[in-house]
Amino acid sequence: MMSFTSDAAIMFGLSLVSMILCAGLLVSWRALGGVRHALIWSGAFGLAAVQWAIIGGYNSFLPETAPTFIGSTWAGGAVSILLFMGFRERIGAPRRWALLVGIMAATAVLVGVTYWLGQAHYALAVPQFVRALFLPLAALTLVGRERRSSGTEIMAIIVLLGFAIFSAVVGFFRLTDCGCETNAGRAVLLTGLPVLFMGTGIVIVLLLAGDLARQLRIAARTDPLTKALNRRGFEEDCADALRRRGRAQAASIVLIDLDHFKRINDLFGHGCGDDVLRAVAACVRRHLRGDHLFGRMGGEEFALMLGRTDIHAARALAEQIRRALRDLAILPDGGRVTASFGIAAMGADGDLSAAIAHADKAMYDAKSLGRDRVCIHEGGDAAQPVRLAFAQRG
């Protein structure tokens, strides 16, 4: 006859939560374009659902057999390893599948050996110590390197470290075979385990939601063809960079407009035109530093904001890019891709619109002087007369 205990109710509850998380993460995997870490996390919670169901079963109506004990105990460690693998996949870290699968296999062997030796408390300690090892390693992947950790990532770090510490304490008591089977020990275990396990699932879902929101923000600010910033993204990033720079720090705006681009589309088709735009964007990127901003303003026009670069250094860089564009072998008839460049220094007031207007005027003067050249606007402010200097072609 079935005996349904409170322990079994908690285990079946965890199994149900795990199944919901598994399904939700599977949906996220599809929604995010097949990102592998969502699929790995879905697998981890799917395995956890089976684990909790088995434990709930032999706490109520199933006999505890060697296969069910070893399988459910091993699964506790395997879930932690899969979670860690998902966190590594999320940041694009090198995959160590063979090593991690080997650790899973070693965990299964260790659990089986200790159980057959009659040391079940040692076997129960194994997944706790595996969790105590791999969850902090997962938390390390959330520590900001190229960017500051988000609030959700900080919350995830706290939850993962808290779960790891809890598991280490439980593992110690399992190892010493004391405390866990007392009423107080069971109360702590059956309270802390569900809270921390569900907390881990919640922060993982929040991380995926944050990733999706970040992807949408990037898509809204990025030109899909060239992967450069679009006008909106370029102007926002320029405004942010100008807020951070000191007034004495030089900065320059460069506008690039491809020459006779309509003719390329008319002669070779829009597919060739798209190839040219992609090739030009890749060529420009190869000449930029980390603090340079690059955007496509529309059509065949691109823009650069060069931080810590005065107008003369900007002209030298523009000349390098101009010569590199002429060397692109992209047109079917072997013709050259050329561009006209306009450059303006950013004023001390940080007026981006004025600097772009000056660079735009210089660019159109480059067009009127015969194209395929660099012109600079040397006036610092809009009120000063515009004077253009022609940079001779190399």
What pLDDT shows up at residue 282? 97
Lowest mean pLDDT among 4-18, 34-48, 113-127, 195-209: 4-18
Place 5 in a pLDDT band, splitting at 50, 70 and 90.
low
What pLDDT shows up at residue 263? 96
Amino acid at 69: F
pLDDT, one tens digit per residue, over 322-381 is: 999 999 999 999 999 999 999 999 888 888 999 999 999 999 999 999 999 999 997 644
Q: Determine the average pLDDT of the residues in 117-140.
A: 93
317-320-326-329 Cα dihedral, nearest 10 degrees: -110
Q: Determine the average pLDDT of the residues in 279-300.
A: 96
What pLDDT shows up at residue 350? 83
- 8 Å CB contact between 221 and 233: yes
For residue 4, pLDDT over 60 is answered with no
Euclidean distance between CA atoms 374 and 316, whole angstroms: 9
What pLDDT shows up at residue 147? 73
Euclidean distance between CA atoms 115 and 307, whole angstroms: 64
Euclidean distance between CA atoms 145 and 178, whole angstroms: 42
Tell me the two tokens of residue 11. Answer: 């285990």
SS (H, E, C) the chain: CCCCCHHHHHHHHHHHHHHHHHHHHHHHHHHCCCCHHHHHHHHHHHHHHHHHHHHHHHCCCCCCCHHHHHHHHHHHHHHHHHHHHHHHHHCCCCCCHHHHHHHHHHHHHHHHHHHHCCCHHHHHHHHHHHHHHHHHHHHHCCCCCCCCCCHHHHHHHHHHHHHHHHHHHHHHHHHHCCCCCCHHHHHHHHHHHHHHHHHHHHHHHHHHHHHHHHHHHHHHHECCCCCCECHHHHHHHHHHHHHHCCCCCCEEEEEEEECCHHHHHHHHCHHHHHHHHHHHHHHHHCCCCCCEEEEEEECCEEEEEEECCCHHHHHHHHHHHHHHHHCCCCCCCCCCCCEEEEEEECCCCCCHHHHHHHHHHHHHHHHHCCCCCEEEECCCCCCCCCCEEEECCC
Euclidean distance between CA atoms 90 and 96, whole angstroms: 14
- 8 Å CB contact between 197 and 160: no
What pLDDT shows up at residue 247? 56
Between CA 76 and CA 79, with CA 77 as vertex, the angle to 5 degrees is 70
Provide the 10 A C-beta neighbour count for residue 216: 10
Tell me the two tokens of residue 130. Answer: 């595996």
Whole-model pTM over 0.85? no
Instruction: Tell me whether residue 89 is one of the annotated catalytic residues.
Output: no
Euclidean distance between CA atoms 315 and 26, whole angstroms: 51
For residue 394, pLDDT over 70 is answered with no
- Is the alpha carbon torsion for 80, 196, 179, 133 positive or negative? positive
For residue 236, pLDDT over 80 is answered with yes
- Is the alpha carbon torsion for 113, 116, 119, 121 positive or negative? positive
Q: Determine the average pLDDT of the residues in 17-46.
A: 92
What pLDDT shows up at residue 132? 96
Of residues 383 and 305, more confidence is placed in: 305
Query: Among the options 64, 300, 301, 378, which is catalytic?
Result: 300
Place 183 in a pLDDT band, splitting at 50, 70 and 90.
low
What pLDDT shows up at residue 383? 30
- 99-108: Cβ within 8 A, 24+ apart: 103/130, 104/74, 104/77, 104/78, 107/74, 107/77, 107/78, 107/81, 108/70, 108/74
